[in-house]
Structure 1
Amino acid sequence: MDYLKEYQKWLTGDVIDEETKAELRLIKDNDVEIEDRFYQSLKFGTAGLRGKIGAGTNRMNQYTVGLTAQGLADTILRYGQEAKDRGIVIAYDVRHFSREFSELSARIFAANRIKVYLFEDIRPTPVLSYAVRELNTISGVMVTASHNPREYNGYKVYWEEGSQILDDVADKVLMNIEKIKDFSEIKKIELQEGIDNGLIKMIGEEIDSSYLEKVLSMTINDDIDKNISIVYTPLNGTGNVLVQEILKRRGFNNVHIVEEQEEPDGDFTTVGYPNPEDPKAFAYAEKLGKAKDAELLIATDPDADRTAIEVRNEEGEYVFLNGKKIGALLVHYILSERSRKGTLPENGVVVKSLVTGDLSTKIAEKYGVEMIETLTGFKNVCGKANEYDITGEKTFIFGYEESIGYNYGTFVRDKDAVNSTMMIAEMAGFYKKQGKSLLDVLEELFEEFGYYNETLISVVYEGVDGQEKIGRIMEEFRKEGIAKIGEMNLTDTVDYNEDETGLPASNVLKYYYDNGSWFALRPSGTEPKIKLYIYSVGETLEDSEKILKQIEKVAKEKMDSVE
């Protein structure tokens, strides 16, 4: 793409509004900024769109969002009148322009005579997934950039099963986007016109109520300590209302909310980077936890699809648990308690991504439950639930990823922080009644199944050069892995782009060592970074930590050596 030509096209185009042109004139002498905004178009894929907000083809704005909405509308139209009548449901988070992008999308779908259900206010992502299924729409849109910094927004597309689209639909949408040669081809009507003519219906509380009933139906035990002291923070995102409501309905009576992070704030003023995977996001929660003598701290990310926790130890300090540990605890609690009650299905499965640790696999084996591995991305985890709906060969019990995303049940087909928060609180209350904390339970699992440790390291490479560097790193590791790390010898390498794995091709490399440890490399699909996943096994916790640091050191040295 000729970035200077595209820049001039936007500056002089009749369709581009004056406010956007004024923004672009401010960078007329900044060639680097012009290139970054126009060297490519935001690429639509299974993760939808995600990028920085601003003017340009490589930014989230009314024009790039409009193109995507029209491309999706054209895709739906090809499915005929029934698809148009079933329609599409749209929700949005707290970020800048999320409401505007949602309303713009509604206007475009309505102009294409597609029925639209539009949430009247911010909602968590899992509620959007639920609404697609509950309303039987052909598609859904969630305007969110999840846990990205405040400069970002995104546009996630769902299909009729309630999960994010897979390649078959994404390719059709992309093809239709690329057919649009000019922004003037995007059809629009006014929002009120769409409401008046019945094409746009505003929705809200009725969906919330139905959704919360489904979440409550997933409880396993009621003989728990409901007075356990809990601190909750929505990190100024969408989780506040429904998480508080589900904990209240569940009977937890000692819940404290971080006031500074309770109200929606698209600037995320109190946290900066609103990612609960980062322990720094718990700063306010820890302060309140100390004041309230809380045993459990819970944080949800801005679109409330992911959940993180910290647990108080015997010294009164808070210990952050990563997604693999939380996932293993939930797998253990759900399977052990349902086994005890005789409610485990005979053909039940747990599903996890291939970069998620193996402790939960050992736990599942104990209870006779099969562990299924998928490619990274919750669309693949929930894709298994969709597959089993059709074949009936297995029953989806629980799915999770190491990146603090969990789904218990099948009424939502994405990560669900509202459901997860309820189950984590129930689990903590259950074990507290037995005189144990979640840290105690985790130690018992280590003693039974072995000491595991894991981490995820993300290395960011911004801009045009960054994407090229990521490509060179993957190429170098693909040529040659790391044969020996400390006392560990490489035993197997899996290239998910080339090898026969039974999974779709994906740019992931995984290296296995003779003591059971492994590491994997994967470029992010939504951000300019490469992810290094490390999983270590040792005879003691200290041993597994030492091995983890060895792997991290050697792998990062090889990454840094790539020019």
Structure 2
Amino acid sequence: YKDLHFGTGGLRGIIGAGTNRMNRYTVAKATKGLANYIKKQGEKDPSVVIAYDSRRFSKEFAQEAAGVLLKNDIKVYLFEDVRPTPELSFAVRETKSIAGIVITASHNPPEYNGYKVYWKDGGQVVDPVASELMKEINSISDFSNIECLHGCSLDGFDKLKILGEEMDKKYIEKVKSLSLNPQAIEKQKDLSVVYTPLHGTGNKLVSRVLREIGFENVHVVKEQEKPDGSFPTVKYPNPEEDGSFELALKLAKEVDGDIILATDPDCDRVGVMIKTSAGEYYKLTGNQTGALLAHYIISSLQKKGMLKENSFLVDTIVTGKMGQKIAEKYGVETVSTLTGFKYIAQQIKNLEDEGDKKFVFGYEESYGFLTGSFVRDKDGVIASMLLCEMAAFYKEQGMTLYDALMKLYEEYGYHKEELFSIVMEGKEGALAIRSTMERMRNNPPETIAGLNVAEIRDYLVYEGPIKLPKENMLYFILEEGSWFAIRPSGTEPKLKVYIGTVSDSASEAQKKIERLSSHIKSMLSYNE
């Protein structure tokens, strides 16, 4: 119902003709705006890295973007074929480029595509760059001034460099350098790993890293191995969806898999299923995976004497709280920022690059994880390697990852989280989202499911311990420590509601979350 505007998350929309769709014209306009913005920075011989995923027209849109930049005398590093988004982040830093572009719609349905911009630190653009860039792009009204609008050959440009195996090798070596317990892999090299790239970009690098680090029993789901933008075997190529694991789970039962991994199409997020001691498969939430990784990374660094005093972990305001408790026990500071990994990257930049602190781990509930200092976005390749290494580490001790999770619950409390969305499409939906937020802001509840509201944080005005951009999000803290948050999605027409609680037992935590969820759904007039 409106033009496709370049927003804080870049462009994302349905592929098709028209100004409210993803096509070569909207891609060319965004790239022309980026070229204009880069020129205004006054940098000598600037360059931009471009990567793309397996979606329909991703390659064509990447070539379109390359053509516009080259015609504007900006050097381009273009990947030869599909690559994971985190490798784009790495390549921006490695080539010392001013910016990066990745053509992807992440885990959206097949009819979508998108366009994201990264800045010189390797993170997605945030303010003030994001606002200035947005203004530059959205000010373009005359398409006749945009180069390569009807396509142009990339032959003959001296400033075009193709990236391939050499960059892959550099990235993979860095990923492998993050291994914390190589001896566990050596002893458990026959760990049965089942992996699906869900028709996306992940297979080449994830399989390679696992093989090179020493795992000899990796099974890739054949039906989902090759890049295919129609994602024929899944309804949504999203590892958060149970259906994404259907074929991988079938294969795991055949090969007695210890761990099942699924990465989304641009391989920045990873979902995990683990085998319990009873032989059943259990799907971890992003919060559970994050807590397990946080504990594994921090405790391993401490054992090796490599945990610095000024270490910090970054999560988001709506992430479960167990990771914070783990960090606190080991003397690691937790910094909580806004939803979206670009804000996690921003905190790493502020505290590590421009401060004197040491980043150890960052995560968000939506299956995004990062450690190391060479990538500035969530990284499904790094996370896949560390998850397998962690499974080998615990298996060496006679434990499954499920056992390890239960041990964390016993020590830090039974944390339980829930996320649900209220879809409100079209113009009426946008108005409904706005009015719901206004109602909750102006007439907030005093109690939820019989629990008093102790504090309300309106992130349009809230001033916390660190300076954050203004965000249309409301966060409610209840008297006994439970919490819930509500915010409009940045990429889809829906309201997102996050709930978290903690108890001394799993059953009590489950009862509490059900009571809270039921009450909040009723309050928001939610119908499943």
> Taking structure 2 as the reference length, what is the TM-score of the superposition?
0.96
Judge conservation of contact 2:28–2:148 (CA < 8 Å) in 1.
no
Judge conservation of contact 2:276–2:403 (CA < 8 Å) in 1.
no
Judge conservation of contact 1:107–1:189 (CA < 8 Å) in 2.
no
Judge conservation of contact 1:45–1:167 (CA < 8 Å) in 2.
no
Deviation of 1:188 after TM superposition, in Å, equals: 2.5
Deviation of 1:499 after TM superposition, in Å, equals: 2.1
Q: Does 1:98 align with 2:58?
A: yes
Judge conservation of contact 2:84–2:267 (CA < 8 Å) in 1.
yes
CA distance in 2, matches of 1:480, 1:441: 43
Q: Does 1:531 align with 2:496?
A: yes
In structure 2, the gaps of 5 or more residues are: none
CA distance in 1, matches of 2:322, 2:352: 27
Q: Secondary structure at the match of 2:182?
A: coil
Write the deviation string for residues 72-102 of structure 1: whole angstroms up to 9, x where unpaired. 01001112251xx231010000001111110
Write the deviation string for residues 174-216 of structure 1: whole angstroms up to 9, x where unpaired. 2222332221110229988544131211111111000000000
* Residue in structure 1 matched with residue 207 of structure 2 by the alignment: 244
Q: Secondary structure at the match of 1:126?
A: helix
* Residue in structure 2 matched with residue 372 of structure 1 by the alignment: 335
My pick for the range that moved more, 481-490 or 215-224, is 481-490
Deviation of 1:344 after TM superposition, in Å, equals: 0.7
Judge conservation of contact 1:456–1:532 (CA < 8 Å) in 2.
yes
Judge conservation of contact 1:510–1:520 (CA < 8 Å) in 2.
yes
What amino acid maps onto 2:196 in structure 1?
Answer: T
Q: What aligned pairs does 1:71-82 form with structure 2 within 5 A after superposition? A: 71-82=33-44
* Residue in structure 2 matched with residue 125 of structure 1 by the alignment: 85
Deviation of 1:486 after TM superposition, in Å, equals: 3.3
Deviation of 1:44 after TM superposition, in Å, equals: 1.2
Deviation of 1:359 after TM superposition, in Å, equals: 0.5
Deviation of 1:482 after TM superposition, in Å, equals: 3.0
User: Which of residues 51, 59, 63 in structure 1 aligns to 2:13?
Assistant: 51
Judge conservation of contact 1:110–1:188 (CA < 8 Å) in 2.
no
* Residue in structure 2 matched with residue 308 of structure 1 by the alignment: 271
Deviation of 1:278 after TM superposition, in Å, equals: 1.3
User: Which of residues 438, 463, 470 in structure 1 aligns to 2:433?
Assistant: 470
* Residue in structure 2 matched with residue 406 of structure 1 by the alignment: 369
Judge conservation of contact 2:261–2:273 (CA < 8 Å) in 1.
yes
* Residue in structure 2 matched with residue 392 of structure 1 by the alignment: 355
Higher share of residues assigned helix: 1
Deviation of 1:487 after TM superposition, in Å, equals: 4.1
CA distance in 2, matches of 1:460, 1:78: 40
Judge conservation of contact 2:6–2:138 (CA < 8 Å) in 1.
no
* Residue in structure 2 matched with residue 160 of structure 1 by the alignment: 120
The count of residues paired between Structure 1 and Structure 2 equals 522
What amino acid maps onto 2:433 in structure 1?
Answer: I
Write the deviation string for residues 349-404 of structure 1: whole angstroms up to 9, x where unpaired. 00001100110111001111001111111111011111134433211111111100
Q: Secondary structure at the match of 1:515?
A: coil
Write the deviation string for residues 292-348 of structure 1: whole angstroms up to 9, x where unpaired. 111211000000000110111233221110111000000000111110110111211
CA distance in 2, matches of 1:331, 1:310: 18
Q: What aligned pairs does 1:279-298 form with structure 2 within 5 A after superposition? A: 279-298=242-261
Deviation of 1:557 after TM superposition, in Å, equals: 1.2
Q: Does 1:184 align with 2:144?
A: yes
> Taking structure 1 as the reference length, what is the TM-score of the superposition?
0.90
CA distance in 2, matches of 1:151, 1:484: 42
* Residue in structure 2 matched with residue 143 of structure 1 by the alignment: 103
Judge conservation of contact 2:53–2:82 (CA < 8 Å) in 1.
yes
CA distance in 1, matches of 2:126, 2:180: 32
Name which one, 1 or 2, has greater alpha-carbon Rg. Answer: 1
User: Which of residues 63, 71, 76 in structure 2 aligns to 1:111?
Assistant: 71
What amino acid maps onto 1:283 in structure 2?
Answer: E
Higher relative contact order (CA 8 A, sep 6+): 2
Write the deviation string for residues 55-82 of structure 1: whole angstroms up to 9, x where unpaired. 1221111111111010001001112251
* Residue in structure 2 matched with residue 10 of structure 1 by the alignment: none
User: Which of residues 324, 331, 340 in structure 1 aligns to 2:294?
Assistant: 331
* Residue in structure 2 matched with residue 518 of structure 1 by the alignment: 483
Judge conservation of contact 2:448–2:520 (CA < 8 Å) in 1.
no
* Residue in structure 2 matched with residue 417 of structure 1 by the alignment: 380
